[in-house]
Amino acid sequence: MPRINHQIDDPFLPVRKEQLFTSDNRPSSQYAVMLQQEDQEVEVGHVSENYQLVPNETVHQIALDVLSRSNLGFDDAGMIFDGKRYRQRWVLPDLSVEPKKNDIVQLSFDVINSYDGSTTFGLAFNAQRLVCTNGLMLDFLLGGFRFRHFGHDAFPEEMELAVSSLQNLSGQLEPLNSKLQTMIDQPVDRHYIQQAFTDLKLTDKMKANVFMEVEEDTAWGFYNACTHVLSRAGTHHADNINRQVSRYMLS
């Protein structure tokens, strides 16, 4: 069966699990996850028999249901899908801070899912800078929610908990604004930037790209240069580095 070796950008392709077999034709404990693309199926991951495979289309609809029940405004802010992992983002205009005049940061609602067992179906709360649409990976600070009972009797209760988690996100606005203002007020120099590059173990290419994007000599300016480069990359790997940078800058 063909494995993924090219870009798959449609997150809503039909998907199924297929049991694998050992070399002597005995049933394996592993299953292949198969995406139906045009006239062929593509193998995108291996998971256990008990892995709960939830189609991205279902994940997307559940996320919209949570958003609608929250009574918060929301705007589509794009998605990332590489055939294995899916992340869809909506920004929440009702939940925003303005750490600096005319520099607005809106909280965001991300739904995440995977077909390779790398993450479970759930929500992550992050943020996005309005002026340049830089994503700020702050779920380690703002929290999220993991669905563990999809398809079971307890799932409606989990949905209510997810809605409640989203509605309670407003309590994070003041602490976040305070942290961002601290970065705005913190001057930085070349030595600070070089030390940050060393601590974060960034690649030479990324260092060069970030350095070219720094527009002001503050921690906020440096942070936004990093998030600008990483957001434009538009990959799950870039999101992970963004989260690493965010932890470093907001610690």
Q: Residue 140 corresponds to which amino acid?
A: F
Say if residue 2's pLDDT is above 70: no
pLDDT of residue 38: 84
Say if residue 101's pLDDT is above 60: yes
The pLDDT tens digits of the residues spanning 145-187 come to 999 878 778 889 999 999 999 999 999 999 999 999 999 999 9
What's the token pair of residue 158? 């989990």
CB distance 104 to 95 below 8 Å? no
CA distance 153 to 149: 8
| Sign for the pseudo-dihedral over CA of 138, 140, 141, 143 | positive
Q: How many CB atoms lie within 10 A of CB 60?
A: 17
The pLDDT tens digits of the residues spanning 151-160 come to 778 889 999 9
Instruction: List, as one string, the DSSP characters of 75-140.
Output: EEEEEEE-SSEEEEEEEEEEEEEEEETTEEEEEEEEEEEESSSSS-SEEEEEEEETTTTEEE--HH
Of the candidates 107, 128, 126, 120, the one whose C-alpha atom is nearest the C-alpha of residue 158 is 120
Q: Using pLDDT thresholds of 50, 70 and 90, give the confidence band for residue 49.
A: confident
CA distance 227 to 248: 13
Tell me the whole-structure pTM to 2 decimals. Answer: 0.91
Cα 241 to Cα 80, 112, 225: the distances in Å are 15, 17, 13
CA distance 91 to 164: 17
CA distance 112 to 87: 5
pLDDT of residue 37: 87
pLDDT of residue 8: 84
Q: Which residues contact 211 (CB under 8 A, 6 or more apart)?
A: 193, 225
pLDDT of residue 164: 96
pLDDT of residue 9: 84
